[in-house]
Structure 1
Amino acid sequence: MWLVFALLSAVFAALTSVLAKIGIENVESNLATAIRTVVVLIMAWGMVFLTKGQGGISDISRKSWIFLILSGLATGASWLCYYKAIQIGEVSKVVPVDKLSVVITLILAAVFLHEKFTPKTLLGAVLITAGTLILISK
């Protein structure tokens, strides 16, 4: 089931890039990011209430709060940079560079989460990096 959600995530991420590029025309990138964030906020809390998950707030540990807040800050920084990049660059070039996050995630997961960095993982990271370099080259 995780694969279905991961594929849907990829489809929605692709739509996000194209729709954002169209929507950001003549809009300051930070303002566009703020508008997008409000929509995401409403949608996320809507899902919490729809699934009756709001009761779990009191069960969240201090450690989880800290890391969720740090993750939110990283997401915000990523979105601000991403919107600026698509505003001034071509989506077809920005998105592959943005997806280098996969390679960076593999490295960070190996270092901090002690996830295995296998030959297959290494090959995938090299191919993603090579593909990115090919897509952004002139």
Structure 2
Amino acid sequence: MTQQNKAKISYVFALFLYGTMAVLLKYINLPIEFVALIRGIVGSLFLLILTLLTRGKLDISSIKKNFKYLLLSGMSLGINWVCLFRAFRVSTVSISILVDYMAPIFMIIISPLLFKEHLNKKKLICVFIAFIGLIMVSGVVGSDIRMINVEGLLLAAGAGLGFMGVIIFNKLMGDVSVYDKAVVQISIAALTVVPFAIKAVLETSIVWDFKSVFLSFIMGLVSTGMAYYFYFYGISGLSVQTVAVVGYVEPVITVLSSVIFLKESMSMAAMAGAVLIIGAAVSSELISGHGEDKKELNGSAI
């Protein structure tokens, strides 16, 4: 198996792990800032232990060389967590995800300028089809316009900007291993969440219960620690266009997990949208030539 195919599999697996968060969040009764903080702490500790067990130590030299981008990407990640989770609370999940996932489209537009990537017109069409599918999956079409909350839109847009920051700063990094990258970025993301968690303590009365804490721990271990290891491995070896198209599979996984585990209904339009997204993702990879595969791997820091 080629390195590039490994990167694709890792990225898709990370998206699958992310898709479990919606189900877990349904049963957690803690302020969203605390959920984000717990997942950051648990995720970073898991990755640190994994690094020490497999490699013995962190590569301090490579971390220092890339610290600027590690810091910026970690902060972007923390902002994405807080903004998106808070958007879920003040607006609908469907609208929040829809706004957040406009980020990959903007990434494709600016990728030729930032990363000198060739703008593949066929992949651009695939992204457009995937976004249409996302609109259908979200259920926004036909929903009551009065349900749209301005604060929720702004928070979701902030999450989208954080999403873009994570991709941009990871692509700009030099030679740093996925272990070091994951540990540092998740740790910085957790620190970024701390001020928001303190604000939540001052403004709300927090009731701790075992189920919420346990599920937050699982989210940190699986949906953060494990997921971001595979995520950073994947995006480091893929083009922005591939990351954008395949990334639209995540909301499909989220919806399907809600249908399976939460017994939520799924409309025919949503099913058709899911087919469009998966079809666009598969088509995007089928039209990738071998020469493009090599370009995607160029600059990979795995």
The amino acid of 1:95's aligned partner reads I
Runs of 4+ in 1 over 6 A off after TM superposition: none
How big is the shift at 1:117? 1.4
Q: Distance in 1 between matches of 2:103 and 2:17?
A: 17
Bigger relative CO (Cα 8 Å, ≥ 6 apart): 2
Q: Distance in 1 between matches of 2:100 and 2:27?
A: 18
Matches within 5 A, 1:45-60: 45-52=48-55, 54-60=57-63
Q: Does 1:2 align with 2:7?
A: yes
Q: Distance in 2 between matches of 1:120 and 1:53?
A: 44
Query: 2:51·2:58 contact (CA, 8 Å) conserved in 1?
Result: no
Q: Does 1:85 align with 2:83?
A: no
> What whole-Å deviation, never above 9, does each CA across 1:97-128 have from its counterpart, x for those lacking one?
43333323323433311112111221122123
> Percent identical across equivalent pairs?
21
Unaligned runs of 5+ in 2: 1-5, 144-302
Q: Alpha carbons of 1:107 and 1:21: their partners in 2 closer, same or farther (altered >3 Å)?
A: farther
How big is the shift at 1:61? 4.7
Q: Distance in 2 between matches of 1:101 and 1:56?
A: 32
Q: Distance in 1 between matches of 2:135 and 2:71?
A: 33
Residue of structure 1 equivalent to 2:181: none
Matches within 5 A, 1:1-138: 1-23=6-28, 25=29, 27-52=30-55, 54-62=57-65, 64-134=66-136, 135=138, 136-137=140-141, 138=143
Query: 2:111·2:117 contact (CA, 8 Å) conserved in 1?
Result: yes
> What whole-Å deviation, never above 9, does each CA across 1:54-106 have from its counterpart, x for those lacking one?
241223353x1101110001001001111112233444553344333332332
Give the number of the structure whose alpha-carbon radius of gyration is greater. 2
Unaligned runs of 5+ in 1: none
The amino acid of 2:7's aligned partner reads W
User: Which TM-score applies when normalising by structure 2?
Assistant: 0.40
Q: Distance in 2 between matches of 1:130 and 1:5?
A: 25
